[in-house]
Amino acid sequence: MITVVQRVAWARVSVAGEAVGAIDRGLLLLVGVERGDGPADADATARKVAALRLFPDRTPMDRSVVDVGGGCLVVSQFTLAAELRHGNRPDFTAAAEPAVAAPLYERVAGQLAATGLVVATGRFGAAMQVELANDGPVTVVLTVRDGKVVPRPEPAAGPGD
């Protein structure tokens, strides 16, 4: 499961001109469910997001969304599973089928709501327009496999290294 997490001053998602979800200060989550993802991945994603210290206090990254009383806008984003190595057209075969992805995406939202957070969602499978004011800007990518956060790959050594 791949999740792009953005700290926002506000965010909203619309479908066909109708606002379907909105939050004030908080986190916008773009959630991509991949083949092989399961409930443990959704649960680990929600736990990590709720605990991420992305809001300022004594330091620039000191408080969680729970600590600041923020909300989460959770939007499905199958395009995060795109494979881009070959050619110029993204390949989405790594994305989970909708019958699998929808309940896992909804589980992330439900687990966040269970922590007491205000949670809004987009509409799974719909063409959505997402508007936001990225605060900072702060954007991080969270990848979870087999119920565990996956570390970022080590950067390749460059010419100056």
pTM assigned to the model:
0.94
Question: 2-149 has which fold?
Answer: D-tyrosyl-trna(Tyr) Deacylase; Chain: A; (3.50.80)
pLDDT of residue 118: 97
Please check the confidence at residue 138 and state whether its pLDDT lies above 90: yes
Close Cβ partners of 21 (under 8 Å, ≥ 6 residues apart): 12, 13, 73, 75, 120, 121, 122
pLDDT of residue 42: 98
The DSSP H or E segment spanning 63 is strand 63-64
- Determine whether 79 is an active site residue: yes
Instruction: Parse the chain into domains and list their residue ranges.
Output: 2-149
Cα Rg for the chain, rounded, in angstroms?
16
Please check the confidence at residue 63 and state whether its pLDDT lies above 90: yes
Q: Name the band, by pLDDT with cuts 50, 70 and 90, for residue 161.
A: low
pLDDT of residue 160: 66
Task: Give the pLDDT confidence of 13-28 residue by residue, as tens digits.
Answer: 999 999 999 999 999 9
How many residues are there in the chain? Answer: 161
Q: Name the band, by pLDDT with cuts 50, 70 and 90, for residue 5.
A: very high
- Determine whether 77 is an active site residue: yes
**Identified catalytic residue from 79, 111, 121, 124:** 79
The mean pLDDT value of the chain amounts to 96
User: How many CA atoms lie within 13 Å of 150's alpha carbon, on the beta-carbon side?
Assistant: 13
- Determine whether 78 is an active site residue: yes
Please check the confidence at residue 153 and state whether its pLDDT lies above 80: yes
pLDDT of residue 27: 98
pLDDT of residue 46: 98
**Identified catalytic residue from 55, 78, 111, 121:** 78
pLDDT of residue 157: 77
- In percent, the amount of the chain with pLDDT more than 70 equals 99
**Identified catalytic residue from 3, 6, 45, 77:** 77
